[in-house]
Structure 1
Amino acid sequence: MGQRAKAFPGRRLRALPALALILGLLCPPSAGAQPTDRGPVTNLPLPRFVSLKSAEGNARRGPSLSHRIDWIYKRRALPLEVTAEYENWRRVRDRDGAGGWVHYSLLSGVRTVLIERDMVEMHARPSAESETLAMAEMGVVARLGACTPDWCRISAGGESGWVTKDTLWGVSPDEVRE
């Protein structure tokens, strides 16, 4: 979808067992995880969703400028999930599970979502029977508004409406927002 570009293709380096243990403690797995932990720097829930503030952002192998760049995100407002914190760095992952350490200044608390299905109907109300106001293509990044247990209000390209939550990436399945 053009949301990231591989920066330096090549062989993978293997972590030393002690380093792997430390990284495992700093970066717990987040697939399907619920926000039960708090970040040691911000005291915000982990995992949590944020968005890319700039049009380009480097995702590094570790939390410093001396670490190798694994990915370059090239899409402003792209939703990302923060899975760990270390000083001014946040470990993030995208919809595909790829990611790395990003400097906090490149991230925004503005919530966005990624449309995961093609031609998603945007409704006037959170009901499949309500009027369809617009259609959203797969890959569209939209601003996230209110959410019920099954629906979220989004806006993109001058249009806004309610879509089913299961068509979005960037919002937790049980998340409710006002």
Structure 2
Amino acid sequence: MKRLATALMLLGASQSSLAFDFVSVAEPAILYDANSLKAKKLFVATRYLPLEEVVDLANWVKVRDSSGKLYWIEKRNLSNKRYVMVTVPLAVVRSDPTENSQVVFKAAQQLGLEWLANTGTGWIKVRHADGSVGYLKSTDVWGD
């Protein structure tokens, strides 16, 4: 029984150490299939696109998008300023992290919002490009 508890504790610790950081595209940038300018160009990522950092090399970063696909991007094209992308048809951003609070604005699917904080209660604080700030459910976005 003691061994099982220890194994479960180690498994939890190893999974938490595998947590990846999120970065965002600073300006439109090319995503490649390998870490070289000579590699195949796959597509252009838009500004504010959140990406999950998987591998960080000197000048390149291997990233994962919301669909789970992996790409390489030049590190100079990334920002540590975090953004999230709305994944539901219409997300409601509220004044407080509760269902009954006032609606600040509604965000359409694929809109990028600046990530400000995670409340730890299933809500995140975000900022719209127009400066409006509010809270939305973390399940309504990708990149948190």
Task: Give the TM-score range, shorter chain.
Answer: 0.7 to 0.9
Contact 1:118-1:138 at 8 Å conserved across structures: yes
2:139 corresponding residue in structure 1: 166
Task: In structure 1, list runs of 5 or more residues that go unmatched.
Answer: 1-32, 38-45, 172-178
Which residue of the other structure, out of 8, 12, 22, is the alignment partner of 1:49? 22
**Residue-by-residue CA offset, 1:119-155 (whole Å, 9 max, x unaligned):** 2111111111111121111111000112112111111
Shift of 1:34: 5.3
The alignment's TM-score, normalised by the length of structure 2, stands at 0.82
**Residue-by-residue CA offset, 1:53-111 (whole Å, 9 max, x unaligned):** 11x211112112222212221x1111111111222110012112234111100000000
SS of equivalent to 1:166: helix
Which residue of the other structure, out of 128, 137, 148, is the alignment partner of 2:119? 148
Give the root-mean-square deviation of aligned CA atoms.
1.8
Alignment length (residue pairs) = 129
Distance 1:121 1:112 in 2: 17
Distance 2:141 2:88 in 1: 8
1:109 corresponding residue in structure 2: 80
Shift of 1:35: 5.2
1:76 corresponding residue in structure 2: 47
Name the structure with the higher helix share: 2
2:90 corresponding residue in structure 1: 119
Q: Identity over aligned residues, as a percent?
A: 24
